[in-house]
């Protein structure tokens, strides 16, 4: 049996071959001069095999767009979000690829020895792809190891596993997203800024990355905090007591005051009564904790702070030490050693060193290593630790190796121990405190010079003792701004917010430095450049929080879910690129944004802003939106389904959260509830400006459904439903609130009311206050038309009420025309278009011919044919038909009758007999066939129907003495045939 073994780098291949062959491997040249081939024999699964060991140099394959999209001028950057991408082998890696293809032809098996992290797993699958294309029947295995030592690699060979496709998939998704997002935004901002600043940026590439931009955002945010900081003056009192050249400062327990007069008064009182009395002396043990075992983030932070080696260089040096076998794998999230790990042996390696050998021996003599354990583990690699001793290094390699050794020995030691004494004194009823420290045992500090802890002497004080202070001073000071970010601070923020991984933090920081988005002000602290500041502020001004960390943090969480097999790669890819809808004004995508001055308020804006200023403003009731991976079956592929979370429960009875809905117009009532102007989500309609009297009304009298005007859908020729439930295509008109059809959307929100004579135009808005009358001044079809709005309006605590004023019958009315700007960007749609011949608030007259007769010729109390519907909700009455009034909520009578019993139920407040309240028919309780709507039943009559919410039982309703139907009746507009369902 012959196996091809492939490592991630040549040094790793060399050392793995060295350990597996016990130093007997033979080297020969491959096609790439940087990737040698090592041959030896080893035992695999109990069988002696020939082994060929070689390597790649990181990723073997790369991702790019199809050739027609490579040119920057070839397409709109937006098309890159769904342009085809291909994997290919870059030219400088062709020799490595050919080496693999050549060597695998004579092998029967393949063993992957790449690093055991996400990137390593993905590189492993790239190797598998290349080799399997040459030889499809290969036996493929994965070697798992955390350090390149003899014990570790031999153990890995005897415990071969299968490669993990989920982990590799996570990298594929990340690569594709980085390519698409990076390329699209890089092209967009480069071309835009080069055009605006040709003299400054003509030859500059303004790159974008979904990790590097939040990293830049942290720098900008701290820089703003420093620049915008306003110093405040404060005052404090300090007491000093000096004896025999030992000076002790007592700090004020009030700390400081920002009122000079108040502080001056307290100081004067202390001066007048200066005698100090010791009120408390406390002595307690004090410990300084030894460091935790090193993970990658801590290594980067501490190397930056203590050794002044930047994160990128730190990781380069650590990788080199790892491939040489001196330290364990340096990319780990673990800060606790596994119990089965032989730490004593690792400590023994260092007992002969002249600098820390004595300390290492002391650990062994004192009972062995007792490391302080953290609480993080990636279940893949142990903390970073030395794997063998060496004294042959130099420069920063030696410094970093020494730091890792000393950190390991320190964490295996004991905490430093001391004794702290705290003394509290009283001066004129003001309390001051001072403390002293006596170190008893330095312990880990003996080997870890990177921490400082020194003794601080204090006089010996006793409770009740009095003394005269040497001085009592009034000290003036100023508050100071936060410090600019150091590299260690930046890495800590990236880790906290989930930007990148422990393996990529250094890379992202280096990227924003190389792009000249940030610079080091004093070789330590980051400041944004003019370009970096401009990019962040530019996107902020557009309402796009590209520099905020939440977007990338969500992606990192999704990638982790892919690795764990709990989320599908295709879903993550789809979710990242979803736009809410296509802009009806210009055809670009529209995406979710936050208001600049209030991140809690959301709106949907066109990506072509400022060329296109179309926006969808969302009310405060919308807490969050999440675009789903499916489109609306009614509105079409340009409209994605959106998951809504509500900020309160005001509409939860209508749309229970989380609610999956569409704002394309297929549910006009939903638009009405959210106060969305239909013109911002629908293309203009050629039939919008025809007279009310000439609007087409599509009627269908089949299936016992009363005729109703079809409702306007999102796009003129989008499929909708006719009254029989079948899809149809055609131009349709908005609902008209005339004598034939009521606009049921109007009753979703408080309806306007008329006070006094309708001719006086005394209209009350939804706030129950007189509305103001305005006139359209915009040059369009509604020029000169009068309309009513809330006098206070939403911005000042009012409502979004809007209503056209009454006009003559021949006047053009357009329910969905946008009225003059109210300061919010777009006005809400009108509650409905009234019939101009009748005025507001006057109940329309009805004719029996407006309602379809039913099979049993049942008439409601209004004298019109009742509507037959069926209970659909699970419960005792599921499937039962009943009759109810077909009218709109505002004019509906209280008629109800079960269709299968012939019982006419009068909804009243009678409390006698079996109908103690509401809904009790002669059949008794809701569980019988003859009973009325039972407890917990909610009957929804959809179409121009009504919703009967029978959440209360008839008995409980009777006890409360509630009048009216057994349910709250709420109009619900629906896009299909009338149905009845219990909710």
Strand, helix or coil for residue 785 = coil
- Compute the average pLDDT of residues 817-833: 35
Residue 6 C-alpha from the chain's centroid: 38
Q: 910-917: long-range contacts at Cβ-Cβ below 8 A with a sequence spacing of 24 or more? A: 911/958, 911/961, 915/954, 915/958, 916/954, 916/955, 916/958, 916/959, 917/954, 917/955, 917/956, 917/957, 917/958, 917/959, 917/960, 917/961, 917/962, 917/966
Name the DSSP letter for residue 454.
Answer: -
- Compute the average pLDDT of residues 211-235: 94
- Compute the average pLDDT of residues 893-910: 61
Helices (H), 387-432: 395-411
pLDDT(711) > 80: no
Predicted confidence band of residue 712 (pLDDT cuts 50, 70, 90): very low
pLDDT higher for 40 or 594?
40
Predicted confidence band of residue 815 (pLDDT cuts 50, 70, 90): very low
Predicted confidence band of residue 596 (pLDDT cuts 50, 70, 90): low
Q: What is the pLDDT of residue 602?
A: 84
Predicted confidence band of residue 403 (pLDDT cuts 50, 70, 90): very high
Q: What is the pLDDT of residue 766?
A: 66
Q: What is the pLDDT of residue 689?
A: 35
Q: Which residues pair with residue 44 across a beta bridge?
A: 47
Cα Rg of the chain (Å, integer): 38
Q: Going from the N-terminus, what domains does the chain have, and what CATH number goes with each?
A: 2-163 (3.40.50.140), 233-289+418-478 (2.70.20.10), 310-413 (1.10.290.10), 578-680 (no CATH), 764-804 (no CATH), 859-898 (no CATH)
Predicted confidence band of residue 916 (pLDDT cuts 50, 70, 90): very low
pLDDT tens for residues 406-437?
Answer: 999 999 999 999 999 999 999 999 999 999 99
Predicted confidence band of residue 235 (pLDDT cuts 50, 70, 90): very high
pLDDT higher for 839 or 230?
230
Q: What is the pLDDT of residue 951?
A: 31
Q: What is the pLDDT of residue 603?
A: 87
């006793």: which residue's tokens? 462
Predicted confidence band of residue 277 (pLDDT cuts 50, 70, 90): very high
CA angle 689, 746, 943 (to 5 degrees): 90
d(CA 614, CA 648): 28
Q: What is the pLDDT of residue 316?
A: 93
pLDDT higher for 6 or 924?
6
Q: Helix 505-514 and helix 212-227: axis angle, to 10°?
A: 70
Q: What is the pLDDT of residue 262?
A: 95
- Compute the average pLDDT of residues 702-707: 30
pLDDT(887) > 80: no
Contacts of 818 (CB under 8 A, 6+ apart): 677, 679, 826, 827
- Compute the average pLDDT of residues 469-474: 96
pLDDT tens for residues 291-306?
Answer: 999 999 999 999 999 9
Q: What is the pLDDT of residue 187?
A: 92
- Minimal CA–CA distance to 507: which of 527, 491, 489? 491
Q: Kindly state the percentage of the chain with pLDDT values over 70.
A: 76
Residue 609 near residue 583, CB atoms below 8 Å: no
Q: Where are the beta strands (DSSP E) in 469-595?
A: 471-478, 518-520, 526-528, 581-582, 589-595
**Which of 644-658, 754-768, 781-795 bottoms out in mean pLDDT, i.e. has the lowest?**
754-768
- Compute the average pLDDT of residues 829-853: 41
- Compute the average pLDDT of residues 928-949: 34
pLDDT(695) > 50: no
Q: What is the pLDDT of residue 472?
A: 96
Q: How far apart are the first and last CA of the chain?
A: 67
Predicted confidence band of residue 806 (pLDDT cuts 50, 70, 90): low
Predicted confidence band of residue 578 (pLDDT cuts 50, 70, 90): low
Q: What is the pLDDT of residue 512?
A: 94
pLDDT(471) > 80: yes
**Which of 311-325, 668-682, 882-896 bottoms out in mean pLDDT, i.e. has the lowest?**
882-896
- Compute the average pLDDT of residues 687-702: 32
Phi and psi torsions of 822, nearest 5°: -100, 10
Q: What is the pLDDT of residue 400?
A: 97
d(CA 540, CA 316): 35
pLDDT higher for 601 or 817?
601
pLDDT(313) > 80: yes
pLDDT(851) > 80: no
Residue 116 near residue 381, CB atoms below 8 Å: yes
Q: What is the pLDDT of residue 593?
A: 78
pLDDT(595) > 80: no
pLDDT higher for 708 or 487?
487
**Which of 53-62, 557-566, 616-625, 851-860 bottoms out in mean pLDDT, i.e. has the lowest?**
851-860
Q: What is the mean pLDDT of the chain?
A: 77
Residue 469 near residue 459, CB atoms below 8 Å: no
pLDDT tens for residues 101-158?
Answer: 999 999 999 999 999 889 999 999 999 999 999 998 999 999 999 888 898 999 999 9
d(CA 665, CA 646): 20
Q: Are strands 276-288 and 246-252 parallel, antiparallel or unpaired?
A: unpaired
Strand, helix or coil for residue 274 = coil
Q: What is the pLDDT of residue 274?
A: 94
Q: Is the peptide bond before 798 cis (omega within 30 degrees of 0)?
A: no
- Compute the average pLDDT of residues 44-71: 92
- Active site annotation includes 329: yes
pLDDT(37) > 60: yes
Pick the catalytic residue from 93, 329, 517, 851.
Answer: 329
Contacts of 613 (CB under 8 A, 6+ apart): 606
Predicted confidence band of residue 807 (pLDDT cuts 50, 70, 90): low
pLDDT higher for 683 or 525?
525
Judged by phi (left if over 0) then psi (alpha if -120 to 50, else beta), residue 704 lies in: left
């Amino acid at each position: 049996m012959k196996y091809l073994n492939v490592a991630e780098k040549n040094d790793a291949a060399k050392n793995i071959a060295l350990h597996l062959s016990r130093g007997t491997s033979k080297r020969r040249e491959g096609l790439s001069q940087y990737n040698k081939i090592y041959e030896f024999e080893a035992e695999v699964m109990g069988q002696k095999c020939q082994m060929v060991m070689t390597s790649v140099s990181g990723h073997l394959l790369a991702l790019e767009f199809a050739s027609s999209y490579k040119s920057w001028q070839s397409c709109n950057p937006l098309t890159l979000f769904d342009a085809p991408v291909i994997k290919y082998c870059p030219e400088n890696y062709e020799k490595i690829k050919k080496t693999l293809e050549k060597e695998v032809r004579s092998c029967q098996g393949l063993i992957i020895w790449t690093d055991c992290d996400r990137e390593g797993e993905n590189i492993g699958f790239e190797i598998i792809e290349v080799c399997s294309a040459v030889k499809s029947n290969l036996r493929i295995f994965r070697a798992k190891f955390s350090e390149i030592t003899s014990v570790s690699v031999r153990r890995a060979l005897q415990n071969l596993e299968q490669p993990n496709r989920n982990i590799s998939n996570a990298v594929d998704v990340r690569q594709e997203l980085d390519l698409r997002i990076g390329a699209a935004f890089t092209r967009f901002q480069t071309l835009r800024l080069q055009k605006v600043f040709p003299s400054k940026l003509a030859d500059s590439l303004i790159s974008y990355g979904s990790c590097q931009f939040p990293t830049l955002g942290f720098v900008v945010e701290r820089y703003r905090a420093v620049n915008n900081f306003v110093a405040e003056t404060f005052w404090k009192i300090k007491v000093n007591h000096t004896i025999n050249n030992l000076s002790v400062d007592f700090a004020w327990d009030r700390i400081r005051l920002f009122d000079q007069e108040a502080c001056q008064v307290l100081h004067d009182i202390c001066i007048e009564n200066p005698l100090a009395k010791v009120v408390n002396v406390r002595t307690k043990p004090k410990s300084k904790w030894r460091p935790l075992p090193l993970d990658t983030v801590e290594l980067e932070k501490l190397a930056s702070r203590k050794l002044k080696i930047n994160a990128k260089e730190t990781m380069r040096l650590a990788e080199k030490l790892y491939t040489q076998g001196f330290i364990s794998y340096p990319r780990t999230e673990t800060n606790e050693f596994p119990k089965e790990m032989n730490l004593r042996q690792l400590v023994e390696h260092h007992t002969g060193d002249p600098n820390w050998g004595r300390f290492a021996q002391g650990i062994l003599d004192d009972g062995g290593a007792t490391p302080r354990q953290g609480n993080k583990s990636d279940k893949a690699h142990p903390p970073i630790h030395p794997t063998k001793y060496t004294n042959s290094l130099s420069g920063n390699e030696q410094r970093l190796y020494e730091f890792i050794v000393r950190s390991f020995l320190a964490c295996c030691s004991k905490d430093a121990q001391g004794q702290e004494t705290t003394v509290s004194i009283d001066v004129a009823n003001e309390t001051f405190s001072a403390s002293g420290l006596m170190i008893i045992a330095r312990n880990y500090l003996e080997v870890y010079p990177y921490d400082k802890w020194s003794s601080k002497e204090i006089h010996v004080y006793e409770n009740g003792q009095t003394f005269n202070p040497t001085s009592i001073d009034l000290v003036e000071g100023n508050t100071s701004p936060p410090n600019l970010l150091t590299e260690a601070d930046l890495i800590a923020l990236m880790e906290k917010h989930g930007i990148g991984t422990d393996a990529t933090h250094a890379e992202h920081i280096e990227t924003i430095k190389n792009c000249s988005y940030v610079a080091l002000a004093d070789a330590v602290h980051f400041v944004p450049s003019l370009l970096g500041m401009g990019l962040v502020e530019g996107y902020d001004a557009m309402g796009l929080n590209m520099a905020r960390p939440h977007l990338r943090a969500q992606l990192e969480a999704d990638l982790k879910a892919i690795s764990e097999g709990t989320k599908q790669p295709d879903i993550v890819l789809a979710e990242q690129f979803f736009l809410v809808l296509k802009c009806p004004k210009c055809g670009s995508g529209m995406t979710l944004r936050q208001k600049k001055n209030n991140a809690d308020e959301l709106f949907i804006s066109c990506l072509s802003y400022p060329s296109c200023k179309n926006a969808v403003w969302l009310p405060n009731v919308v807490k969050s939106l999440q675009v789903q991976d499916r489109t609306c079956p009614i509105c079409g592929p340009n409209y994605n389904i959106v998951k809504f979370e509500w900020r309160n429960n005001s509409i939860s009875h209508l749309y229970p959260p989380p609610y999956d809905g569409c704002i394309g117009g297929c549910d006009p009532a939903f638009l009405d509830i959210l106060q969305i102007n239909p013109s911002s989500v629908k293309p203009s309609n050629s039939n919008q400006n025809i007279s009310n009297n000439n609007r087409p009304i599509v009627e269908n009298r089949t299936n016992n459904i009363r005729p109703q005007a079809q409702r306007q859908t999102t796009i003129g020729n989008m499929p909708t439903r006719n009254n029989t439930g079948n899809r149809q295509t055609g131009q349709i008109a908005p609902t008209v609130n005339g004598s034939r059809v009521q606009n049921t959307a109007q009753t979703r929100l408080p309806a306007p009311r008329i006070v006094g004579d309708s001719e006086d135009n005394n209209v009350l808005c939804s706030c129950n206050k007189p509305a103001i009358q305005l006139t359209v001044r915009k040059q369009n079809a509604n020029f000169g038309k009068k309309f009513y709005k809330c006098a206070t309006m939403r911005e000042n605590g009012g409502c979004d009420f809007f209503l056209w004023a009454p006009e003559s019958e021949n006047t053009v009315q357009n329910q969905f025309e946008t009225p003059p700007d109210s300061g919010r960007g777009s006005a809400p749609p009108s509650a409905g278009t009234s019939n101009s011949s009748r005025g507001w608030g006057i109940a329309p007259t009805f004719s029996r011919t407006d309602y379809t007769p039913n099979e049993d010729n049942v008439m409601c109390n209004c004298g019109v044919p009742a509507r037959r519907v069926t209970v659909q909700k699970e419960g005792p009455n599921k499937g039962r038909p009943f009759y109810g009034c077909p009218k709109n909520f505002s004019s509906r009578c209280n008629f109800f009758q079960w269709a299968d019993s012939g019982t006419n139920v009068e909804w009243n407040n009678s409390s006698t007999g079996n109908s103690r309240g509401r809904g009790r028919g002669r059949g008794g309780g809701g569980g019988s066939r003859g009973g009325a709507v039972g407890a917990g039943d909610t009957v929804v009559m959809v179409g121009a129907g009504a919703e009967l919410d029978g959440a209360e039982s008839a008995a409980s309703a009777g006890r409360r003495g509630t009048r009216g139907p057994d349910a709250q009746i709420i109009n619900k507009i629906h896009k299909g045939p009338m149905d009845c369902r219990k909710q």
